[in-house]
Each structure stands twice: as C-alpha cells, then as structure tokens.
Amino acid sequence: MNSHSELDLIDYKALYNEASVGYFTADAGGYIVNINDTFLKLLGLSREDVIHKVRFQNVLSIGGKMFYETHYIPLLQMHGVVKEINFEIVSAEKRRIPVLVNTKKSISTDGKKTYWHSTVFEISQRKNYEQELIISKKKAEELSEKLSVLNEELTKQSDIIKEQNTALEKLNLVKDKFFIVVAHDLRNPLVQLHSFVHLIEKHLDKFTKEQMKAMGRDLKSSINNTLGLADNLILWAKSQMKEFSAQKTHVNIQDIVMELILMNEDFAKSKSINISYTFDNMRDIVADKDQLTFILRNLLMNAIKFTPFNGLIKLDVFDENQDTIAIKVSDNGVGMSEELKDSLFKMASKDSNQGTMGEKGSGMGLSLVYEFVAMNGGTIDVISEEGKGTTFIVRLKSAERHLSEN
Amino acid sequence: MTKEQLVRRNNIKISGDGEKTMVFAHGFGCDQNMWRYLVPAFSDSYKIVLFDHVGSGNSDLSAYDFDKYDTLQGYADDIIEICQELALSNVTFVGHSVSAMIGVLASLSNNDVFENIVMVGPSASYINCDDYIGGFSREDIDELLGSMESNYLGWSSAMAPAIMANDERPELSEELANSFCRNDPKIAAHFAKVTFLSDHRHDLKNLKTKTLIIQCSEDVIAPTIVGEFIAENIESSELVIAEATGHCPHLSAPKETIEIIKHYLNSAEVLHEFA
C-alpha cells in the first residue's frame, strides 16, 4: 500500500523534463514538437526557440546532417526504429557534443499523424575513449604495416643468403676438384724425377752419355712445365686474395711477342710447328707489362700444345679502331667443342685437356688470362671449331700517342 | 565477365513484366532496398532491374577496386555493362543522389543506353565554388569524411542486431535487415570521398537524354538551387520540386514520388506518339 502511494507521488512531467537523457519528439516533417529540459540545456536553447521551429538535423554538425540524410532517415523510413546512432550536436554556444540517438516511430491515436520519439544520450567521455581507441588502432595498423615490410625485407635477405650459400658450396666443389687436378699434375714430374734418380743410383754405368743427356732434357722440360704450373698457382692464389692490381704503362707489344716466340721456339720446333706474325699497330698498348706477357705466353703455349705436327700458328697485332688494339692468336689445331668453349675461362670446372703430345695443364692458365684481361680493361673472345683450329682475340686500350720511331 | 558473374557482382534482381525497363540505382549510404516502396507501382508495366553498386549492400565486396571506383565513371561503366549484358532496351534509369550523375556519365559514354533519366535529389557538385552553390564548403565535406570514420566504430558491425529486432515491419526479411545500409567502413569512406568531391557540372551540357529532376524542399544534401542549376544545364530536362522534405522522397513520400515519375513518363510517352 505504501509503495502504491509513493508511485502516485511521482511527477511524470518532472521525470520527463529532468531525466538524465534528452527527449524530443518530431513530426513527420522533422520539426521538433516536444522536448525535455535536459536536451534544451544541452542545446543551450529555450523551448520557444525550438518548438515547431527547429528540425533535429538543424542542430547537427555538417557531417551529421549528411549522415542524417543518407543513413538515419532511410533506416527510420524502412524500419520505424533506429538505435545507437552517433551524431555530433552543435549547441548554441557552438560546443560540439557527441550523442547517441535512439528513435522510434509512433502513430497518433487517431491514426492520422506520424511522430518520431527520440532519446539523446550524451557520450562525451565515451567519445574520448573511442578517439583513443581509434588512435591506438591506427598506430597498431601502422606498426603491423611496418612489421610486414620488415618481414618482407628479412625474407628477401634470407633468400639472398641461401643463394650465396649455394654459390659458395658450388665454388668449394670446384676448388676441391681443382686441387686434385693440380696435385695430379705435380705428381707426374716427381715420378719422372724419382725414376731418373733411381736409374742414376742403380744403373748409372748401363747408359751412354748421350742417353743420359736425352733423359736430362726430357726431365728439364718436365720440370719447366712444373715450374710454370707452380708460378701459375702462386699467381692464381694472389688473384683470389685480390692482391693484384694492374700497373698500367705504355707497352711495346712487338718486343713482348718476339721474346715469347724466341722462348718457345724449341717447344714449337719439337712439333715442327711454324709460327708467323704481323704487326700493323700504330700505337703502344696501355697495360700491365707482366700481366700482358702472362696473357700472351699462355695463349701461345696453348696454341702450340693443341696444334699437331706441321701445324701453323699466327700472331697478328693491329689497330682495331682509334682506341683499341687487337692481338689475334690463331692456330689450325684440334679446336674445341661448344661446351668446352663455354667453360673455357672458368677455373678448372673440368679436367684440363691434354695437348696433342699429352702436354699437361691445370686449366688455371686461361682463367688467369681472363682475369688479367679484365683487370687491364680489355676483352677476350674465342672463335673455335673442332678439328679446324682456334683463334683468341684480345682487345686492349691503345696509347694516345703514336709509336716512337725506334 | 559472364552474366552470372555480373549478377553476383552487382547483386542484380530482376522482376516485373514489360517491354520497357526501369533500372533503379541507389545513392551513397544504402542499397537497392531503398526502392521497395516505388517498385510495386511500376512492376506491372515495366521490367524492373535492381542492383547494388559494387562495395554497397550485398554486392561482391571483393570486386571493389579502389582505382576503378576512384571516379564515378567506374560505377557508370558497370551500369553500361549491366544494360548490355542483360540486353535491356527502352531503359528508364532512376538514380538517387550520386547515382543521378553516374547515370549522366553512363549516358554520355553510350548514348543508346537510356531512353529517359529520372534524377532523385541529384547534385552536380557539392562544394560551393565561385557563383555556384553546391550547399557545402570544402571544410564541411572534410568534416563529413571525418565523421564517417568516427561513426563507423559504433555503426558498421553493431548496427545489424538493432535492425533485426524490428517487430513493426515483419515483411522485412532477416537477410535484408542484415545488409541494409551496412557498408564496409573503408569502402564507404572511399565512396563518400569520391561522391562528395565529384564535380560533373560541365558534363550536363553534353547530355542529350530526356531527364526528369525531382528535387525536395529542405534537402540538406541537394538544395533546390542545385536542382535548378542541373535543369538549366541539361538540354531536355524537366524539374519538379516535390512537397516532400529531405533527401529521400522515395522513402518518406513514395506516393508523391511515384506520381511525379508516372506523370512524366506518361507525358513523355504521349509526346513520343505525337512525334
């Protein structure tokens, strides 16, 4: 009984006006026809200013107005009710107040008029919280973006490392093979030396002087080969450690070629090979003299090695153009297959070919030739056909001034 | 693109009978369901084609290409594709809000595609510029684009349950309740930007298609002065200021909207017969 009388005491009008949320009712045209004190206070307007004069969208921010037309009204017209729509209200003092609005359609008792009842709930604090969330979300998104970029970068680097690893493993294999070839080549002359010493020790008196001399010559040439191999090995090791640089000077190519021909005369004669040469260059070559000598010695020795009895070797030096001198070393020897040509300048990727007389080689010479040519800013090309012969063309920079008369 | 793929991409719904066709294009913020009070009035005499713009409603969101839809032409191309793929003829194109200009672009790209255009609450450009009054300043538009973002936090995913609890209109299916006016926030923000920064005032003069412009009084998005500007610039156009207020007369005053459209189409027909 008590509770009943207490309920009777509630002033519903005051409850409406002083409620902790804003209330308003709009007619079909959107005009506010009823509003409570709470909402008026929020707006900073008087009841007279509002009733039948103001439509709800009039108190919204511009963004809110457009949202009202494109979302709120269509939803209301379709469903008769919307809940928790976030608007920004602009008060008379131009204060922006975020609110949540619930609206429900209501038909007048005579069924003729439509009204829209709305509740307006201020959410300033929650909005601040939302803003913080949005900022955090954006930061998180940015971080995640950065992470994915980093991740991609890492994956790329890891791929590169994998590739490098594979290349290194390959190179290691090549070097292993190379050592076997070199060791094998070094062993041969030692075996020869060993048997020579054995003969001297045990059977010295059974050989004539002439026979001893002939054996000595053979041994000497074999040891010479080995020395050449050892020299190459040292050069190669240095080049691997990047100790080389080309000390470029003006080099008289004719002097070098003539000296090389002289040095290899015996070797050529032993196979009855004829060496011819022409010099049509007007200028010196700019190159490291020792390296150029090495290049030409290897090309010439190779030519002799791979040319059979009674063969021909030609050395031609000429100005290819104003800046370039070409040195052509050609033979009519055994030539080489396409496959061999492709791997020619790579270090010992296969067993070295033997010469026509079984001459040895480590395959190191040509790889060094290639490196030296490159170091001197030149190029090297090879033209070869199996059974017909081989031509190497080395192109190097020529000096600016003409050859001196002497 | 096959017909089936196209139907899926734009969530195309075809109904009604008739040799003539009406294609309805929704504006920014909603989807094809906003036409449901209008469609029954025309489905006796027209074939009705409803669709959602890619990125809206139940369209295929994965087809949303931020480059393609960076201008309204992207949407216009879709409509031409729809008309051609479905072999639609004698088309009356009804475009609400931004779709009115999309219709103009489609018609300019392919003059044969529409017989009539009906614009509901159109705007050729939203931003005030020299003598032109579009209704908004650049700052206003920036504010809208900003408010899109803040609203979507509580809007996009939380909206659906509220709509589903709707007892007053049982005819609205659950499927509809789930999709209506619910957009992917990123796409909606992009669509809003493309819409409200678009300026197609100069295209109006080239339009040859007969056009009806329905403008409401007290439309925040498209003031009547914008409707007048459009009418002045389109060669064969007719402007009707509806009694309805707001931006969506087809929702708030469907009866009046239907009458205006029917009256226009009938008189166009009569004129056509006399010609």
pLDDT tens readout for residues B15-25: 988 889 999 99
The pair of structure tokens assigned to B265 is: 């189409």
Contact A74, B251 (CB under 8 A): yes
* pLDDT tens digits, one per residue of A37-64: 999 999 999 999 999 999 998 999 887 8
Owner of token pair 């994956």: A155
Is B96 among the catalytic positions? no
| Cα distance between residue A392 and residue B107, in whole Å | 72
Mean pLDDT of A219-226: 76
Average pLDDT over residues B168-192: 60
pLDDT at B39: 94
Among A258, A238, A237, A257, residue whose Cα is nearest residue A246: A238
CB of B223 less than 8 A from some CB of A: no
Cβ of residue B170 closer than 8 Å to a chain A Cβ: no
Query: What is the reported pLDDT for A87?
Result: 86
Yes or no: say if B36 and B45 are a contact pair by the CB < 8 Å rule.
no
Phi/psi region, residue A30 (left: phi>0; alpha: psi -120 to 50; beta: rest), is left
**Quick one: pLDDT band at residue B226, thresholds 50, 70, 90?**
very high
> How does pLDDT run across A197-219, given as a tens digit for each residue?
888 888 878 888 888 888 877 77
Q: What is the share, in percent, of chain B residues with pLDDT greater than 70?
A: 85
Read off the pLDDT band of A361 (50, 70, 90): low
The values of phi and psi at residue A405, to 5°, are: -60, -35
**Taking a C-beta distance cutoff of 8 angstroms, is the pair B235, B108 a contact?**
no
Residue B193 has pLDDT above 60, yes or no: yes
Q: Looking at the predicted structure, is the pLDDT value of residue A297 above 70?
A: yes
Confidence of residue B157 (pLDDT cuts 50, 70, 90): very low
Among the partner-chain residues B146, B150, B248, the one whose CB lies closest to the CB of A74 is B248
Residue-wise over B256-275: b if at least 16 C-beta within 10 A, else e?
Answer: bbbebbeebbeebeeeeeee
Among A29, A74, A86, the residue with its CB nearest the CB of B245 is A29
pLDDT score for B184? 74
Residue of B nearest to A57 (CA): B220
B202 is catalytic: no
Of the ranges A71-75, A86-90, B94-98, which one carries the lowest mean pLDDT score?
A71-75
Q: Residues of B with CB below 8 A from A30's CB? A: 218, 245-246
Q: Which chain B residues contact residue A103 at CB under 8 A?
A: none
Residue A354 has pLDDT above 80, yes or no: no
* pLDDT of residue B160 exceeding 60: no
Give yes or no for residue A404 having a pLDDT over 70. Answer: no
Is B34 in contact with A78 (Cβ distance < 8 A)?
A: yes
- Cα–Cα distance between B187 and B183 in angstroms, integer? 7
Task: Point out the least confidently predicted range of A78-92, A288-302, A391-405, B59-73.
Answer: A391-405
Is B219 in the active site? yes
Note whether B247 contacts A130, CB cutoff 8 Å. Answer: no
The pLDDT of residue A190 is 82
> What predicted TM-score, i.e. pTM, was given to this entire model?
0.60
Query: What integer pLDDT is reported at residue A306 of this predicted model?
Result: 87
A312 touches A273 (CB < 8 A): yes
Inter-axis angle of helices A124-203 and A209-240, to 10 degrees?
Answer: 170
Please choose, from the candidates B211, B216, B213, the residue with its C-alpha nearest in 3D space to the C-alpha of residue B249.
Answer: B216
Cα B251–chain centre separation: 13
* CA A227/CA A397 separation, integer angstroms: 31
> Which one from B59, B97, B99, B237 is the annotated catalytic residue?
B97
* Mean per-residue pLDDT, A170-190: 75
CA distance A62 to A313: 94
pLDDT band at residue A80 under the 50/70/90 scheme: confident
Q: Do B144 and A66 touch (CB under 8 A)?
A: yes
Whether A1 shows a pLDDT value over 80: the answer reads no
The pLDDT tens digits for B25-50 are 999 878 898 898 899 999 999 999 99
Contact residues, chain B, for A85 at CB < 8 Å: 151, 155
| CA atoms of A283 and A295, how far apart (whole Å) | 19
Any A CB within 8 A of B251 CB: yes
Find the catalytic residue in B31, B52, B77, B219.
B219
Asked if B169 and A100 come within 8 Å (Cβ–Cβ), the reply is no
Q: What tens digit of pLDDT does each residue of A144-165 get?
A: 999 999 999 999 999 999 999 9
Interface test with A, best of B191, B252, B256 (most A CBs within 10 A): B252
Q: What pLDDT score was predicted for residue B6?
A: 95
Q: Which residues contact B85 (CB under 8 A, 6 or more apart)?
A: B1, B3, B6
Question: Bigger pLDDT: A114 or A171?
Answer: A114
**Which residues from B are below 8 Å from A78, CB to CB?**
33-34, 36, 169, 172, 180, 251
Residue A275 has what pLDDT?
Answer: 92
Q: Quick check: helix, strand or coil at residue A106?
A: strand
**pLDDT higher than threshold 60 for residue B142:** yes
Report the percentage of chain A scoring pLDDT > 90. 34
Q: Which residues of A touch B (CB under 8 A)?
A: 28-30, 55, 57, 61-71, 73-75, 77-86, 88, 100, 105, 127, 130-131, 133-134
Query: CB-CB: which of A28, A71, A86 is closest to B181?
Result: A71
pLDDT of B73 higher than 60: yes
B197 lies within 8 A of chain A by CB:
no
Query: How confident is the model at residue A318, as a pLDDT?
Result: 93
Residue B166 reports pLDDT greater than 50:
no
The alpha helices in A204-252, defined as continuous H runs, are: 209-240
Task: State how far the Cα of B201 lies from the Cα of B158, in Å rounded to an integer.
Answer: 38
Q: Write the CA distances from A387 to A300, A305, A365, A384, integer angstroms.
A: 18, 14, 22, 9
Q: Give the three-class secondary structure for A85.
A: strand
Taking an 8 Å cut-off on Cβ atoms, the answer to whether B145 and A63 are in contact is: yes
Bridge partner list, A379: A395
C-alpha angle B42/B44/B50, rounded to 5°? 50
Instruction: Please give the DSSP secondary-structure letter assigned to residue B50.
Output: E
In whole angstroms, what is the distance from residue A292 CA to residue A169 CA? 32
The better pLDDT of the pair A198, B53 is held by: B53
Q: Which two tokens stand for residue A70?
A: 């494109």
DSSP assignment of A305-335 equals: HTS-TT-EEEEEEEE-SSSEEEEEEEE-S--
Among candidates A67, A80, A131 on the partner chain, residue whose Cβ is nearest the Cβ of B151: A67
- Rounded to an integer, the average pLDDT of A93-105 is 92
Check residue B164 and give its pLDDT: 37
Of the residues A56, A60, A61, A70, the best mutation for testing chain B's interface (the one with the most B CB atoms within 10 Å of its CB) is: A70
- In terms of Cβ atoms closer than 10 Å to its own Cβ (0-12, 13-18, 19+), residue A191 is exposed
How near does any CA of chain A get to the CA of B190, in Å?
A: 15
Query: Which among B44, B66, B47, B46 has a CA at the least distance from the CA of B55?
Result: B66
What's the whole-number average pLDDT of chain B?
85
Is the pLDDT at B178 greater than 90? The verdict is no
Inter-chain CB proximity A71 and B154 less than 8 Å: no
Query: With bands split at pLDDT 50, 70 and 90, how would you rate the model's confidence at A347?
Result: low
Neighbours of B74 (CB within 10 A): 20
At A318-345, the pLDDT tens digits run: 998 888 999 999 999 888 888 888 777 7
